Amino acid sequence: MCRLFGLTSAPRTTQATFWLLDAPDSLDVQSYRNPDGTGLGYFDADGRAELFREPIAAWEDRRFAAEARTASSRTFLAHVRHASTGEVSPRNTHPFLHDGRLFAHNGVLEGLDALERHLGDAMSQVAGDTDSERLFALVSREIDAAGGDIGRGITAATRWVAANLPIYSINLLLITPTDLWALRYPEINELHLLRRPAGGRHGGRPLHHSDAAGATRVHVPALAAAPAVVVASEPMDEHPDWRPLASGELIHVAPGGTVRSVLALPDPPAHPLTLADLRPQAAASQHAGPEAAENRAP
């Protein structure tokens, strides 16, 4: 299953070290679980997006790991891809960038022909084959229609999708140079939130975690001194305040760590999908676990 990771320490800048599909210090198993792409997006001091995407597992690209290790920003977005729709290629690798916003998605939605018709001219911003990038194009169009209000844009776009398209999951993260938005919908795939004080639960400690599936490793020494809000596919340290987002919950994290939560999608999808409904490639992408690593290992 694709993994999402977002972090904001705005207005403070942090230096973050991300290991996605594992760093060069341990390459033997973890990168086989989500081998179809790794991506990291953040913003420089002037608010310009920096985007690193490779359609390969992290163990095959040490340059990517080295770049990610030196990243410095107020907001970060990372994604590990297990392809469900579209070929394994740079253009299909998350995060996606449009109009100063970075976006990543975990899940599957179908009915892409109907989505493309609904997008109309907005399809011009879509370069790849994925359902994720098409969802982002719709979100971007609705943000523009809402006068730049990102929360309203996400809500309008995802409500249309929930009412009109077959959905397995549309968990998403979106960041700007100063803010972070996250949506979980429906309850199929988890998404967790942590409002983390400087130093974590015990004070003076960095964020350091390898998740239970071994698909994502994150080590952030700078967070020993800086507060942050983290959103991830699973709890990422021992802090007791991790909480799962509810189905349909949209959160907005503003500078200073203020978190606003709304139930943007209170109703279940009109056309829900189960694993049994998905194409084999899409189904495999949604429950990749340790057995996937064993099957792929040389």
pLDDT, tens digit (0-9, with 9 covering 90-100), for 101-127:
999 998 899 999 999 999 999 999 998
pTM of the predicted model, to two decimals? 0.82
Higher model confidence: residue 18 or residue 201? Answer: 201
> Cα separation of 298 and 281, whole Å?
21
Cis peptide preceding 197, ω within 30 of 0: no
Higher model confidence: residue 240 or residue 192? Answer: 192
Rg of the chain (C-alpha set): 18
Q: Which of 192, 207, 210 is nearest to 29 (CA)?
A: 210
pLDDT, tens digit (0-9, with 9 covering 90-100), for 28-75:
233 344 445 577 889 999 999 988 876 554 445 555 555 656 778 999
> Cα separation of 279 and 78, whole Å?
26
Q: What is the pLDDT of residue 298?
A: 32
> Cα separation of 7 and 1, whole Å?
20
Higher model confidence: residue 207 or residue 183? Answer: 183
Confidence band of 164 (pLDDT split at 50, 70, 90): very high
Is the pLDDT at 242 greater than 50? The verdict is yes
Q: What is the pLDDT of residue 173?
A: 96
Quote the percentage of the chain above a pLDDT of 90.
45
Higher model confidence: residue 83 or residue 276? Answer: 276
Q: What is the pLDDT of residue 20?
A: 38
> Cα separation of 252 and 183, whole Å?
9
pLDDT, tens digit (0-9, with 9 covering 90-100), for 191-206:
999 897 776 666 666 6
User: What values do phi and psi take at 20, rounded to 5?
Assistant: -110, 125
**Domain ranges in the chain?**
3-296
H/E stretch holding 51 = strand 49-54
- CATH classification number, 3-296, choose in 3.40.50.300, 3.60.20.10, 1.10.260.40, 3.90.1520.10: 3.60.20.10
Is the pLDDT at 290 greater than 50? The verdict is no
